[in-house]
Structure 1
Amino acid sequence: MMKKTVIALCGLAIVGSAAMAQTPAAEPKAGFVKSVRGSVQLLDAGGAVRNASPGDALGSVDRIVTGPDSSASVVMRDDTTLVVGPASRLDLKEFHFDGTTHEGGMLLSLLRGSMRMITGLIGKTNPDAVRVETQTATIGIRGTDFIVQADGRP
């Protein structure tokens, strides 16, 4: 037998069932922008472009584009820090992380420019789950602090 719930709001009665489906929680963000210098833009999976500001959230699939003499620092949910250098384009192709088990994975694609990465929990507990692609190579992570530079030419 199903239990009925009645809620009165401003004289209106709403009858519902205790077995109502729960709406899924929004997917947690992959990280946030810590700092911005110069012209930095974020492009989300839907194609929307916005100017980056400190505190902006990053989705699990986003692009970071920096202008000349510009840079951005990003902190991911697993505490990985990414510093994107001038005239760079970095695609966050995949990010998932479980804060309880510390399991997850990350795939980045540096199409041009430079990036410094200081690995967080994913890279420290499972280095094989972190990959950085460039136009000419895919880098497997074996250290905790490194710099990648790509000239943007195939």
Structure 2
Amino acid sequence: MTLRSRPAAALLASILLTSPAWAADPIGLVKTLSGDATVTRGEQVVPLTAGADLFRDDMVATDADSSLGITFRDDTTLSMGPKSRVALNDFAFDPAHDDVKLGVHMQKGTFSMTSGQTAKLAPDKVSVTTPTMTIGIRGTSFLIEVAGDE
């Protein structure tokens, strides 16, 4: 490494280590993807691919004629239809330390969700919200459509 590249490398390392998206463990991953989808992390919008890690505070969106399946670390699954957007607001899965929770905000689109271990261990710590309502999940599967701005 040259002397000129050391400050740039130090800056890059600082950004990577202090960014919540890179500093935290993944909360889940893109299990399936048909078409195009993106994730917004802070100010960055990045195209998604099957197998991509997802993190707390990510905003996931699908394009028209696209669908995406997410599997969280607790085995909760979330499927998204075309023109859908969801914020992955809150997640923890550390049963040994009684730290389990899942919170998503479905902003618009069509979703299918099947609850995983968090709903079985702490059903009161699973929250699904939309712009007009909150759903308490007690270990189930459901389908929801959220009308939103285009």
Offset at residue 101 of structure 1 (A)? 4.9
What is the letter of the counterpart of residue 147 of structure 1? L
> Does residue 122 of the first structure (1) align with residue 114 of the second (2)?
no
- Aligned residue pairs total 128
What is the letter of the counterpart of residue 38 of structure 2? Q
> Does residue 42 of the first structure (1) align with residue 28 of the second (2)?
no
Q: Which TM-score applies when normalising by structure 1?
A: 0.77
Residue number in structure 1 paired with 2:62: 66
Residue number in structure 1 paired with 2:134: 138
How large is the Cα RMSD of the aligned pairs?
1.7
Structure with more of its chain in helix, by fraction: 2
* Unaligned segments of structure 1, at least 5 residues: 1-22
Structure with more of its chain in strand, by fraction: 1
Residue number in structure 1 paired with 2:13: none
C-alpha contact 1:111 1:135 (8 A) present in aligned 2: yes
C-alpha distance in structure 1 between counterparts of 2:117 and 2:96, whole Å: 11
Q: Which TM-score applies when normalising by structure 2?
A: 0.79
> Does residue 98 of the first structure (1) align with residue 94 of the second (2)?
yes
Q: What SS does the corresponding residue of 1:135 show, helix, strand or coil?
A: coil
Offset at residue 128 of structure 1 (A)? 1.0
Alignment match of 1:108 (pick from 98, 104, 113): 104
Change (3 A) 1:52 1:84: same
Map 1:7-26 onto structure 2 (within 5 A): 26=23
C-alpha distance in structure 2 between counterparts of 1:152 and 1:111, whole Å: 7
C-alpha distance in structure 2 between counterparts of 1:99 and 1:70, whole Å: 34
